[in-house]
């Protein structure tokens, strides 16, 4: 009888949630996830890597140099984010301004992306970064665009408290993620209009789509005033807080070990996803349209992975669930490294998608289980910071390997991808050492 009542309550809660989704502030907030996913999928995962491979990869050796530039560009953007993200967190606490910074950072991202399209269409004399001048400018603009895009997400994530309350927050958060996945599909609508190899033509339409779907957030949301201003934080105190939280975390050995394990696992996964396009094209021989179809399949696998591992986490416990994600990631990397046929990379891409969808579902649960409630916000912030640092280390190592082994052609990229297996395996070894007692009640 109680089970029937519980099911009925869940059904009525879901039914009552629909009006929340379509309130203007919530829908406008969620549409920004739609908008920034268009930028992320088009610029970071697909068309900028395609553009670099087209512009640089004239031979097997130059294919590896293209991978190096892509890796280093991602690492540079990540480094800027590591340096500035603690300041952004303090700025949110000091001023309560989130929408203001989202709009500013989005405007800079859109401008840089438009300029990428312009400079990608011209040939300037001279050189920059060891590249033709116009190409060097495009790479610098990409670094800036990715940095400001990633920075806007810090304020966007914090803004959820302005459009929700404690009861509706999980539902609205999930709604934003779902709308974001739809943005992946919307971004690919530019592909039929860019021609066979002119990938820079995707940059300006992507910028326009990003700007257009940001407009609802501009017009229909507002920052909530901060109520507790008794002790305003100094702008530079973010670095001090990171250091203090890190020292505090060391007193909680299970959480400390998981942060290290998460660093390695997230490092391997994020780098693999960032390099997937150029690897699929230059090493496995995917055409542009084949990779885009693979990306769609991986996205669907991500959705399925997030749902599936929600149940696995509940049934087996968060520690085992994270371990399973790590093994799936290693299997995906192993198949990708050894891939000589396209069907092998289809399998690897699907497994990457499952890992990507599952890693945050499982790790978020384990963070909650391993940290004290009164310090949970601090520890979530430190784990997010750890993820930002890993976004620098992985691409830097990958790019350095492809640079050093460029004369060996495809072997360079395979060795670089194999290095990610080492990182993921190191993460699992550390993860296995975490003292863990599964909570008796998981629902």
Q: How far apart are CA 242 and CA 265, in angstroms?
A: 21
What does each of the 443 residues of the chain score in pLDDT, given as a tens digit?
A: 444 444 444 444 445 555 666 678 889 988 999 999 999 999 999 999 999 988 897 778 888 888 999 999 999 999 998 888 877 777 776 777 889 999 999 999 999 999 999 999 998 988 888 889 999 999 999 999 999 999 998 888 878 778 877 566 656 766 777 788 788 888 988 988 786 678 999 999 999 999 999 999 999 888 776 665 545 556 566 677 777 777 777 778 888 899 899 999 999 998 998 899 999 988 999 988 899 899 989 988 888 888 788 788 878 888 899 999 999 999 999 999 999 999 999 999 999 999 988 887 788 778 878 877 766 666 777 777 788 888 889 999 999 999 999 999 899 999 999 999 999 999 999 999 998 877 664 44
Q: Specify whether 81 is located in the same domain as 202.
A: yes
Inside any domain, residue 372: yes
Q: Specify whether 214 is located in the same domain as 358.
A: no
* CATH number of the structural domain spanning residue 208: 1.20.1250.20
Q: Specify whether 140 is located in the same domain as 73.
A: yes
Q: Specify whether 259 is located in the same domain as 147.
A: no
Q: Give me the pLDDT at residue 4, please.
A: 44
Q: Does the pTM exceed 0.85?
A: no
Q: Give me the pLDDT at residue 96, please.
A: 76
Inside any domain, residue 236: no
Tokens of 296: 């769609």
Q: Give me the pLDDT at residue 386, please.
A: 80
Q: Specify whether 287 is located in the same domain as 139.
A: no
Q: Specify whether 133 is located in the same domain as 212.
A: yes
Of residues 86, 85, 130, the one with CA closest to residue 105: 85
Q: Give me the pLDDT at residue 264, please.
A: 94
Q: Give me the pLDDT at residue 169, please.
A: 60
DSSP code string of 276-325: HHHHHHHTS---HHHHHHHHHHHHHHHHHHHHHHHHHHHHH-HHHHHHHH
Q: Give me the pLDDT at residue 14, please.
A: 45
Inside any domain, residue 239: no
Inside any domain, residue 5: no
Q: Give me the pLDDT at residue 44, please.
A: 93
Final residue belonging to a domain, choices 172, 190, 221:
221
Q: Specify whether 129 is located in the same domain as 265.
A: no
Q: How many domains does the chain have?
A: 2
Q: Specify whether 214 is located in the same domain as 270.
A: no
Q: Give me the pLDDT at residue 6, please.
A: 42
Q: Specify whether 210 is located in the same domain as 281.
A: no
CA distances from 435 to 23, 76, 170, 318 (A): 44, 36, 28, 12
Q: Give me the pLDDT at residue 348, please.
A: 95
Q: Give me the pLDDT at residue 136, please.
A: 94
Q: Give me the pLDDT at residue 363, please.
A: 84
Q: Specify whether 159 is located in the same domain as 253.
A: no
- Please compute, for residue 143, the number of CA atoms within 13 A of its CA located in the half-sphere on the CB side: 18
SS3 state at 127 = strand
Final residue belonging to a domain, choices 188, 221, 254:
221
Q: How far apart are CA 354 and CA 300, in angstroms?
A: 9
Inside any domain, residue 16: no
Q: Give me the pLDDT at residue 442, please.
A: 43
Inside any domain, residue 226: no
Inside any domain, residue 49: yes
Domain span including residue 81: 24-221
Angle formed at CA 111 by CA 105 and CA 113, multiple of 5 degrees: 105
Q: Specify whether 335 is located in the same domain as 407.
A: yes
Q: Specify whether 206 is located in the same domain as 278.
A: no
């Amino acid at each position: 009888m109680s089970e029937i009542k519980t099911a009925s309550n869940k059904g009525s809660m879901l039914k009552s949630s629909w009006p929340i989704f379509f309130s203007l502030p919530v829908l406008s907030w969620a549409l920004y996830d739609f908008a920034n996913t268009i930028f992320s999928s088009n610029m970071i995962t697909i068309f900028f890597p395609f553009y670099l491979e087209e512009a640089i990869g004239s031979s097997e050796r130059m294919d590896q140099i293209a991978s190096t530039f892509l890796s280093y560009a991602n690492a540079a953007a990540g480094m800027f984010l590591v340096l500035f993200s603690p300041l952004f967190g303090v700025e949110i606490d000091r001023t309560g301004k989130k929408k203001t910074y989202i709009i500013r950072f989005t405007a800079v991202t859109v401008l840089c992306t438009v300029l990428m399209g312009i400079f990608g269409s011209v040939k300037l004399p001279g050189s920059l970064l060891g590249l033709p001048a116009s190409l060097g400018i495009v790479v610098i603009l990409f670094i800036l665009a990715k940095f400001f895009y990633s920075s806007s997400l810090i304020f966007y994530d914090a803004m959820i408290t302005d459009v929700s309350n404690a009861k509706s927050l999980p539902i609205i958060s999930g709604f934003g993620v779902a709308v974001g996945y739809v943005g992946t599909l919307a971004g690919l609508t530019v592909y039929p209009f860019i021609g066979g190899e002119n990938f820079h033509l995707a940059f300006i339409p992507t910028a326009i789509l990003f700007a257009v779907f940001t407009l609802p957030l501009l017009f229909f949301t507002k920052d909530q005033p901060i109520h507790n201003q008794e002790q305003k934080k100094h702008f530079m105190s973010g670095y001090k807080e990171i250091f203090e939280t890190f020292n505090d975390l060391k007193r909680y050995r299970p959480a400390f070990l998981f942060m290290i394990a998460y660093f390695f696992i997230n490092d391997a996964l994020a780098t693999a996803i960032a390099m997937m396009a150029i690897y699929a094209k230059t090493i496995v021989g995917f055409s542009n349209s084949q990779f885009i179809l693979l990306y769609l399949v991986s996205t669907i696998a991500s959705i399925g992975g997030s749902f599936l591992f929600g149940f696995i986490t509940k049934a087996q416990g968060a520690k085992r669930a994270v371990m399973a994600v790590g093994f799936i990631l290693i299997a995906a990397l192993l198949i990708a490294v050894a891939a000589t046929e396209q069907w092998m990379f289809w399998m690897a891409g699907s497994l990457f998608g499952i890992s990507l969808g599952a890693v945050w579902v499982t790790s978020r649960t384990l963070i909650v289980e391993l940290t004290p409630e009164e310090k949970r916000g601090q520890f979530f912030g430190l784990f997010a910071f750890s993820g930002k640092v890993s976004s620098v280390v992985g691409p830097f190592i990958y790019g350095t390997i492809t640079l050093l082994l460029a004369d060996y052609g495809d072997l360079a990229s395979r060795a670089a991808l194999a290095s990610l297996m080492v990182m993921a395996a190191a993460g699992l070894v550390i993860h296995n050492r975490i003292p863990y007692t599964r909570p008796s009640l998981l629902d």
